[in-house]
Structure 1
Amino acid sequence: MRRRLIAERAAFAAGDAAADASRALAAALAAVIVELEPDCLGVYSPMRHEFNVADALEADSRLAALDLALPFARRDPVAMEYRRWDRRVASLSDELGLPTGAGPRVVPDVVLVPCVGFSADGWRLGYGGGYFDRWLAAHPHVTSVGVAWSFAEIDAQAAAAAPHDQLLTLVVTERGVVGA
């Protein structure tokens, strides 16, 4: 299922509807972030045609001064933390080769979590490494906002397959908020 959803996302990104959907998701996500009023927002660097959260941050001027952090993933032991990010092009990479912030370690109060798939009740299907799930389990007070395309909605049983899987607080798609 994971491979199929990633392939669907790639096909969607190449299609005519992607630009309008991206604008709609940017507006919906910006509205959610403004409403949540985070002190520090954990974001992610998009890969494999994930939604670029920078579009949402640019969609509302009230988000221009928001403190941001990017994940830093470790391979051994498998772990993730957030590092403050100054919005410049990330010049550092984590142990998985993903761009990360150069600032100090921080714990955001709201994190945006990319979803390969998601269920209406907040279960998330990711890439299978468990990085976000382990981090969320260690930080239960954090508001977790899944970011996905609406076509990636799946059955809850298909999304929650591992013991370490964590429920998201809500999911935002181009069609609006799911599971709030």
Structure 2
Amino acid sequence: MTDAAPSDRSVLRRSLLAQRQTFAATPAFQAAEHALRQALPILLDQLEPELLGVYWPLAGEFDPGVLSHPRALPFARLEPAALQYRRWDGTLPTARDECGIATSTGAVAVPDVVLVPCVGFTREGFRLGYGGGFFDRWLAQHPGVTTVGLAWSGAETRFPVEAHDRALTLILTERELIAPD
């Protein structure tokens, strides 16, 4: 587990991303991905989402793959910084958001369950992302949404919580389901 002071969040982020890149090149990565791929549908069956917010995976992130629930992909806007979800039919996206990440051109929608990728996470349910604050802003505007952080167990860390940080409802790793208090 890695610790960070408030000014070191960017250093912690870079360290965790480097660790993830190394992990993604090992056979353990495929085993972890398989374990998470087995656990996620079971959890989603319990949560029963009407519309599931997913994400287009970046290098080393867990790829949730094909899921049987209606889905939506995020669209990030840089100015002003904002995030919205757009319904997605599951076909290969041809559009990109303003951060260059694949997204959908479907209608704007608000998912009731959202899968959130984690660069790092704490046992208390806080997530370290890529530093843009997009998910935290969206979660602040949609407090009733169930959030499931998807993370590799090796990304567990500690960092000071800042005023804008929003705790996730659950965190699912290849090893366990964490339900913060």
TM-score by length of 2: 0.90
CA-based RMSD: 1.0
Residue from 120, 125, 130 that aligns with 2:128 = 125
C-alpha deviation, 1:28, in angstroms: 1.3
For the 8 Å contact 1:119–1:159, the answer to whether it is kept is no
Task: Tell me the equivalent position of 1:21.
Answer: 32
State yes or no: 1:73 paired with 2:76: yes
Q: Secondary structure at the match of 1:80?
A: strand
Aligned amino acid, residue 23 of structure 1: H
State yes or no: 1:110 paired with 2:121: no
Residue from 35, 39, 62 that aligns with 2:46 = 35
* 1:126-173 CA distance string (max 9 Å, x none): 011000000000000000000000010112xx062x321100001000
Identity %: 52
Q: 1:50 to 1:36 in 2, by over 3 A?
A: same
Q: 1:24 to 1:159 in 2, by over 3 A?
A: farther
Residue from 139, 144, 154 that aligns with 1:141 = 144
Distance in 2 (CA, whole Å) between partners of 1:139 and 1:159 is 23
C-alpha deviation, 1:179, in angstroms: 2.0
Find runs of 4+ consecutive structure 1 residues off by over 6 angstroms. Answer: none
* 1:10-52 CA distance string (max 9 Å, x none): 1111001111110001111121111100000000001131000
Task: Tell me the equivalent position of 2:62.
Answer: 51
Task: Tell me the equivalent position of 1:8.
Answer: 19
Distance in 2 (CA, whole Å) between partners of 1:136 and 1:159 is 19
